[in-house]
Amino acid sequence: MSERGSKKSLLFYLVLIVLIITLLPSSWKHSSRMTFIRLFSPVMSFVNDKTVKVRDTFSALFHIGSVKKENKDLRNQVESLKSDLVYLEELKLENKRLRDLLELKETFGEYDLVTANVIGRDATNWNKSIIIDKGEIHGVESKDPVVSYGGVVGIVFTSGRKESKIMLLNDNNSRVGVIVQRTRDLGVVEGQSTDVLILKYIRKTADIKPGDILITSGTGQIYPKGVKVGEIIKVFEEKFRLYKFAEVKPDVNFGKLEEVFVITRRDSEDENQQEDAQAQIQEEE
Amino acid sequence: MQLVTWIILIALAVLQSSFIIHIPFFQFKPELILIFCVYLATRYDWVRGFWWGMACGAAMSICSIGDPRFFILVFASIGFVSGSFRGALFVDHNSTKIIILFFMSIAGTMAFALLTQQSGFSFFEMAFIKKYIIKIAVINCLFAVPLYSFFQKIYNKIEAR
């Protein structure tokens, strides 16, 4: 009897608990749920992570074939994109070179420019020269000036049939007449077989300073006037010397020359103009 | 012996003007022909050193725009002077040859700078010498270490025959 009574009372309590839970206000239920989630969220998160990892591993094991294929496809895609990138970079550089070339052609509008590739370099430490793939059949002759995007490169030392040797501006036999762009002082730039050139014969009173730009003077009748040679980096003034000296950084990186331009001759139109001018002078005389 | 020397000289000239120009060390190139010139002179005597020096100068001038006369003159002098050490102690050792090469390299560079400077000699104008003369000599000596062992093997074999 007592056993039946206890069972009944247990059932009664259970129903009572269920009723209480059911009849609890919804806000309380929500907060208690959140408390529960908050308490167990680290555990849930841990379990979830591990489960996902295990599931992924099994999934990868089951789909290893397709994963391998996908990996291979992606690798191919990456390689293809890489080569595209290199090609685009090359195109970009070519575009820049062509723009520079156009600018250069405009600068030397009155002259004929022969584009040449550098195919060799001087093998000794004492001389600085390059070999280009253009020669007499392309109109290249000895003593023709050679320029690049940056400025003066040198002169044609000897020209063969299809190739020529160029004496670079930094060769120790190289000389070029220059003007200091800011002060208009005349001087001579000489090579020293190093990366730095030397500016000589600048009068002592000249106000030259580092940063001044040097351009060709055109007095030697080899280089056209106004081509950039370099920039003064250091000025020397010695008490017992008649002239000032300066170290000059050339604008052209001689070690990285890939293509150069040989100035071969003036345009025929320009020549005609000169002839006309000479004829006029003769008539006047 | 002469044929082998010519073959080596031509091979070195080809190497100097093709391979070496692409591997500059500290902006400088080892002078293979100069290394060979000093080796020949110190191995034999000043007479052969002089003649082979002339040949080496001619070979070197092919690889450059420099005046061939300067090259022949300087290399003949180097051959002559190096050959004069023939009677010295331990000259058969490669290390002695390399020490001679070091000084000959310095002398050669100075001679070239003097011969090619058109506007007179001053320390200011000789920046090339001031900055790089020792570096060139050291690079030549470094390259001479394997090359001299190689030349020695070849010439010892030829002479043994």
Interior/surface letters A84-97, b for 16+ CB within 10 angstroms, e for the rest? eeeeeeeeeeeeee
Q: Find, in chain B, the residue whose alpha carbon is nearest to that of A175.
A: B118
Residues of A in contact with B17 (CB under 8 A): 120, 123
> Mutation test of the interface with chain B: which of A118, A122, A126, choosing the one with the most B Cβ atoms within 10 A?
A126
Of B63, B112, B127, the CB nearest to A192: B127
CA distance linking residue A187 with residue B141, whole number of Å: 40
With an 8 Å Cβ cutoff, are B128 and A190 in contact?
no
CA distance linking residue A238 with residue B49, whole number of Å: 44
For the record, the structure tokens of A160 come out as: 């063969």
With an 8 Å Cβ cutoff, are B131 and A172 in contact?
no
Residue B61 has pLDDT above 50, yes or no: yes
| Cβ A209 vs Cβ A232: under 8 Å | yes
Of B27, B31, B64, the CB nearest to A122: B64
Q: What are the distances in angstroms from CA B55 to CA B5, B13, B37, B69, B110? A: 10, 11, 9, 12, 20
| Cβ A113 vs Cβ A264: under 8 Å | yes
Of B117, B118, B127, the CB nearest to A194: B127
CA distance linking residue B28 with residue B135, whole number of Å: 8
Q: DSSP code of A182?
A: T
> Mutation test of the interface with chain B: which of A118, A119, A125, A146, choosing the one with the most B Cβ atoms within 10 A?
A125
Domains for chain A: give ranges and CATH numbers: 111-266 (2.40.10.350)
**Tens digit of pLDDT at every position of chain A (285 positions):** 567 778 888 888 888 887 776 676 666 656 666 676 677 777 777 777 777 787 778 777 777 788 888 888 999 999 889 888 888 888 888 888 777 777 777 777 677 888 888 888 887 777 888 888 888 888 888 888 998 877 889 999 888 888 888 999 988 788 899 999 888 889 999 888 778 888 988 888 888 889 999 999 888 778 888 888 999 998 887 777 778 888 899 988 888 788 888 988 655 545 555 566 566 666 666
Of A129, A190, A198, the CB nearest to B64: A129
Q: DSSP code of B31?
A: -
For the record, the structure tokens of A240 come out as: 């017992």
Residues of A in contact with B16 (CB under 8 A): 123
Reduced to 3 states (helix: H, G, I; strand: E, B; else coil), residue A162 is: coil
Q: Can you tell me the ipTM of this complex?
A: 0.71
Within 10 Å of residue A235's Cβ, how many Cβ atoms?
17
Number of helices and strands in chain A (H, E): 4, 12
What's the pLDDT tens digit per position in B100-126? 999 999 888 888 777 766 444 454 455
Amino acid at A205: T
Question: How far does the CA of residue A151 sit from the closest CA of chain B (Å)?
Answer: 22
What pLDDT sits at residue B121? Answer: 46
